[in-house]
Structure 1
């Protein structure tokens, strides 16, 4: 049986060496060979752990799922890029739908008669454009645009201005591309050939 003599401060007992007395089998008390720390006693030390983690073997299902994930991995990046490109368009379409619903829920005065006249001019354009596909595209669109611009001149002017600007920008870009193609058909200017004189 072990007996540890302590000090007046309980927290300091673990820092200071103490005398340990052990009871012999016949009742005699023997002093230990020297002062010991409490950590040196087997009663206060925990055995050293020698355990290690071993990964369990993957089953057939886990292997097939891992193979499927590896084969699909290149496509997930492509799908994420496509989603990032489509997301703003979907959000703007949803916002347009909500705005249209709110607008039609409480429309301004004379909105429905004007919408009826604009729709009637589109149907009239389809009727007048019988026989040709180009006429079926131009007549209804032109008549709807004219009738809508009569009822909503400010919006028509803003649309015409933005459409004109974008058409002008595209025309300038097309002209620059054609000019670039005509100037260097083989990738170099014809007058920049190097003439070597003997």
Structure 2
């Protein structure tokens, strides 16, 4: 009857030499110091590596029908793929900035200052009231909701409203001046022609 100890010894005696056979060793051969140096043998001189000279020739295989069709498809699609790549590289920075703006807005809303959401509610309600007052006219729908929202926002954020009014006032003045110049040129051209 076999005992556990004898089984363990049998495994130990068989695994040891077997595992040593899996190890690899590097052997470096060097010439003897007292032997004269001989010329090295070229690869072509070895019988194992003999290569027939100038008998081999590279011949390109003819294209199959599938390879030809794929090549035609690639040439047909090349302008479209290059256009898509240009558009991708053109819009990538803008999309990244929009995504970063979204992340920043989320972080701001997640850690909003106290009283921010009630103010936001009042400003939104003012826009809704402006929408109710603008019934019947498309121009009123464009002017009243943003105007009411701007008035409500200026109550809560007076410094930002003042700086916004200064900047937008300058822009509106520039637009008005450019419009005046265009209309004046058109009027002068109209008078010359008639």
Gapped runs of 5+ residues in structure 2?
1-33
User: Rg larger in 1 or in 2?
Assistant: 1
Task: Please name the residue that 2:146 is paired with.
Answer: 141
Q: Residue 124 of structure 2 aligns to a residue in which SS?
A: helix
Aligned residues: 154
Cα 1:42–1:72 change in 2 (3 A) is: closer
Equivalent in 9, 13, 16 of residue 36 of structure 2: 9
Alignment of 1:12-161 (within 5 A): 12-14=38-40, 46-47=50-51, 48-161=53-166
Q: Which consecutive segments of 4 or more residues in structure 1 shift more than 3 A?
A: 41-47, 157-185
Aligned-pair distance for 1:93?
1.2
Cα 1:75–1:157 change in 2 (3 A) is: farther
Q: Which whole-Å CA distance do the structure 2 matches of 1:177 and 1:76 have between them? A: 42
Task: Please name the residue that 1:31 is paired with.
Answer: none
Q: Deviations over 1:124-158 (max 9, x none)?
A: 00110111111111100111111112212233334
Q: Which whole-Å CA distance do the structure 2 matches of 1:155 and 1:53 have between them? A: 77
Task: Please name the residue that 1:195 is paired with.
Answer: none
Q: Which whole-Å CA distance do the structure 2 matches of 1:80 and 1:175 have between them? A: 43
Provide the alpha-carbon RMSD of the alignment. Answer: 3.4
Gapped runs of 5+ residues in structure 1?
1-6, 15-37, 186-198
Cα 1:82–1:170 change in 2 (3 A) is: farther
Q: Residue 138 of structure 1 aligns to a residue in which SS?
A: helix
Q: Which has the higher helix share?
A: 2
Aligned-pair distance for 1:104?
0.9
Q: Which has the higher strand share?
A: 1
